[in-house]
Amino acid sequence: MALRKILIGFSLLFSLLTFNYLYQPIERIKLASKSFDQPIVMEIDNLKFRDLNRNKLLDEYEDFRNATSLRVDDLLKKMTLAEKVGQMMHPAVSINPDMALRAFHFAMGRKTLDESNILERHITHFNFYGNPSPKGLAKRLNYLQRVASKGRLGIPLSISSDPLHEVKGGGIAAFSINGFSKWPSQLGFAATRDSKLIEKYGEIAAKEYRAVGIHTALHPMADLATDPRWARNFGTFGSNADLASEFTYAYMKGFQGKELSSESVMTMVKHFPGGGPQENGLDAHLPSGKNQIYPGNNFDYHVLPFLKAINNGLRAIMPYYGIPMGQTSEDVAMGFNRNILTELLRDELAFEGVVCSDWGIISGRPWGVESLSESQRYEKAILAGVDQFGGENDVKKVINLVQTGKISESLIDRSVIRILKNKFDLGLFEKPFVDESLIDRSLDKTEYKRAGLNAQKRSVVLLKNSDLDEAVLPISSSSHIYIDGLNAEVGSQFGEIVSDPKNADFIIMNIASVFNGNQDPGSNKLIDELLSTVIPDVNLNLNPDTIAKVIEYSKVATLIVVVDLNRPAILSSIDNFVDGLVGTFGVSDEVIFKMIFGDFNPTGKLPFEIPKSMNEVLLQKEDLPDDTDLPTYSFGFGLSY
pLDDT band, residue 631 (cuts 50/70/90): very high
Q: Above pLDDT 90, what percent of the chain?
A: 85
The residue from 442, 477, 509 where one domain ends is 442
What's the rounded mean pLDDT across residues 549-567? 97
pLDDT level of residue 3 (50, 70, 90 thresholds): very low
Same domain, 610 and 540: yes
Same domain, 427 and 576: no
pLDDT tens across 458-498, in order?
Answer: 999 999 999 777 899 999 999 999 999 999 999 999 999 99
Bridge-partner residues for 541, per DSSP? 570
Average of per-residue pLDDT across 235-246: 98
| Interatomic CA distance for residues 387 and 378, integer angstroms | 11
- What average pLDDT does the chain have? 92
Query: How far is the C-alpha of 224 from the C-alpha of 239, rounded, in Å?
Result: 5
Residue 542: give its domain's CATH number.
3.40.50.1700
pLDDT tens, 325-369?
Answer: 999 999 999 999 999 999 999 999 999 999 999 999 999 999 999
pLDDT tens for each residue of 375-387: 999 999 999 999 9
Tell which wins on pLDDT, 578 or 176: 578
CA distances from 604 to 51, 452, 563, 595, 596 (A): 53, 15, 14, 12, 14
232, pLDDT greater than 80: yes
Q: Which of 379, 430, 401 is nearest to 65 (CA)?
A: 430
User: Within a domain: residue 625?
Assistant: no
- How far apart CA 79 and CA 84 sit, in angstroms, is 6
**CA separation, residue 285 to residues 43, 299, 523 (Å):** 51, 21, 12
Task: Tell me the mean pLDDT in the region 623-639.
Answer: 98
| DSSP alpha helix (H) spans, 79-230 | 81-86, 99-108, 115-119, 134-148, 186-192, 195-212
Find the helix or strand (DSSP H, E) in which 291 lies: strand 291-292
Band (pLDDT 50/70/90 cuts) for residue 558 is very high
For residue 528, what pLDDT is reported? Answer: 87
15 and 149: one domain?
Answer: yes
Peptide bond into 25 cis (omega under 30): no
Look up the CATH number of the domain holding residue 150. 3.20.20.300
Q: Which residue has better confidence, 452 or 177? A: 452
Q: Is the pLDDT of residue 23 over 50?
A: no
C-alpha–C-alpha distance, residues 94 and 102, integer Å: 9
The two beta strands, 580-584 and 461-465, are antiparallel
Whether residue 476 lies inside any domain: the answer is yes
- In a domain? residue 628: no
Please tell me which residue, 585 or 130, carries the higher pLDDT value: 585
Same domain, residue pair 230 and 310: yes
- What does the pLDDT read at residue 14? 44
CB 162 within 8 A of CB 168: no
Residue 116 is which amino acid?
S
Q: For 217, phi and psi rounded to 5 degrees? A: -95, 120
Quote the pLDDT of residue 103. 67
pLDDT 10s digits, 78-98: 999 999 999 999 999 988 877
Paired with 9 in beta bridges are none
Report residue 502: phi and psi, to 5°. -70, -20
Clarify whether residues 419 and 469 are in a common domain: no
Q: What is the pLDDT of residue 25?
A: 40
The Cα 63–Cα 82 span in angstroms is: 24
The band of 526, judged by pLDDT with boundaries at 50, 70 and 90, is confident
Q: What is the pLDDT of residue 170?
A: 60
- Residue 113 has a pLDDT of 61
Assess whether 385 and 263 both reside in one domain: yes
Question: What average pLDDT score do residues 570-584 get?
Answer: 97
In 10 A of CB 364, how many CB atoms? Answer: 19
User: What pLDDT sits at residue 168?
Assistant: 80
Asked if the structure places residue 16 within a domain, the reply is: yes
Q: Which residues are catalytic?
A: 358
Show the 3-state SS of 326-383. CCCCCCCCHHHCHHHHHHHHHHHCCCCCEEECCCCCCCCCCCCCCCCCHHHHHHHHHH
Residues 569 and 611 in one domain: yes
Q: Are residues 423 and 515 in the same domain?
A: no
Q: Are strands 496-497 and 480-484 parallel, antiparallel or unpaired?
A: parallel
Exposed, middle or buried, 8 (CB in 10 Å: 0-12/13-18/19+)? Answer: middle
State how far the Cα of 641 lies from the Cα of 631, in Å rounded to an integer: 23
317 belongs to a structural domain: yes
Each residue of 436-449: pLDDT tens digit?
Answer: 999 989 997 999 99
The reply to whether 635 falls in a domain is no
Q: What is the mean pLDDT of residues 609-624?
A: 98
- The residue range of the domain holding 586 is 459-619
Note whether residue 357 is domain-resident: yes
155, part of any domain: yes
435 and 468 part of one domain: no
**Euclidean distance between CA atoms 102 and 165, whole angstroms:** 20
- In tens, the pLDDT along 263-314 reads 999 999 999 999 999 999 999 999 999 999 999 999 999 999 999 999 999 9
Of 442, 469, 496, which one is at a domain's C-terminal end? 442
Domains held by the chain: number: 2
394 in the same domain as 512: no
Residues 133 and 270 in one domain: yes
Work out the pLDDT band at 40, boundaries 50, 70, 90.
confident
20-24, 168-172, 543-547, 552-556: least confidently modelled range: 20-24
d(CA 134, CA 218): 18
In this structure, the answer to whether residues 309 and 413 fall within a common structural domain is yes
**Distance linking the first and last C-alpha atoms of the chain:** 53
Q: What pLDDT, on the 0 to 100 scale, is given for residue 39?
A: 77
